[in-house]
Amino acid sequence: MPALPQRPNALQGLLAFPVTPFREDGELDLPRFEEHLADMADAGPSALFVACGTGEFASLTPAEHRELVRVAVSGTGGRVPVYAGIGGGTRLAAEFAVAAEQSGADGALVLPPYLQVGPPAGLVAHYRQIAAATGLPLVPYQRSTAVFTPEAVAELAEIEQVVAFKDGHGDLELLQRVHTATGGALPLLNGMPTAETFARAYAAVGARAYSSATLAFAPRIARAFFDAFERGDDTVQRTLLREFYVPLTQLRLTTDGYAVALVKAGLAVQGRSAGPVRPPLADVTPEHRDRLAGLIERGHAALDAAAHA
């Protein structure tokens, strides 16, 4: 295998995925977005990923996407790298990448192509064409319609702009083969839903950095878990998994789309509403919102008990 290019070290640790706030009429709420970004930046993530899956990329117009990236770059003022979600067919994804670069983004998370499933060679060609259109660092995202062979990832790793590989597919054997095929030179990111429940398993194949949806609505819990994970504190991790993360996963699995809708509901129950989700997603039911509020209370209570133990 040829020597792989050096990668920047920005994509380590805890990765933040803000929501996209909407007003009740469904339009963007940019002032609320600025507040939300400031709250997340205060939690100390290593990078902010805006207008991605949690940010409802698939429901945004190109003009809205450009505005969100512009506001994120301006609002963070260089304190934390801003990666933009891009996706769709190859040419559309390239256009999103160019727009994100013009808006000042530091990189892009390339979401899977919509609907069409191509062979490994087609996926590699997809990313090569995006890379040719922009100078942004790129992070391919493995899930859904974009599942790679280890050999295809090794090809992508030869592209200087490909700076990490995010996995939301959940096949750890495949990820180990990817790690081996790239010689461990391409950083791997844990991008599973409720990634904290997978943190220790993914660390075993070299993916210690992960995307935390919880950081968007319960930053104290998210930060406490990550810090415990980093220092190897199994007691705190087990407690938060039992009291918060595993029940949260069970709630998320009750309804399609809750990976995003629960995040917005979590903000709302704490008085920091980011408005509704856009169709085809649906807002959390009152019953599930109450369950979520109870879980947030349990998570914070567990942290308080641990602090006084």
Catalytic (active-site) positions: 141, 166
Helix axes 172-181, 150-157, angle to 10 degrees: 40
Determine the 3-state secondary structure of 189 from DSSP.
Answer: strand
Strands, DSSP E only, in the chain? 14-16, 47-50, 82-86, 107-110, 138-142, 165-167, 188-190, 209-212
Give the list of residues 6+ apart from residue 235 with CB closer than 8 angstroms, or none: 228, 306
Determine the 3-state secondary structure of 28 from DSSP.
Answer: strand
HEC secondary structure over the chain: CCCCCCCCCCCCCEEECCCCCECCCCCECHHHHHHHHHHHHHCCCCEEEECCCCCCHHHCCHHHHHHHHHHHHHHHCCCCCEEEEECCCHHHHHHHHHHHHHCCCCEEEECCCCCCCCCHHHHHHHHHHHHHHCCCCEEEEEECCECCCHHHHHHHHCCCCECCEEECCCCHHHHHHHHHHCCCCCCEEECCCCHHHHHHHHHCCCCCEEEECHHHCCHHHHHHHHHHHHHCCHHHHHHHHHHHHHHHHHHHCCCCCHHHHHHHHHHHHCCCCCCCCCCCCCCCCHHHHHHHHHHHHHHHHHHHHHHCC
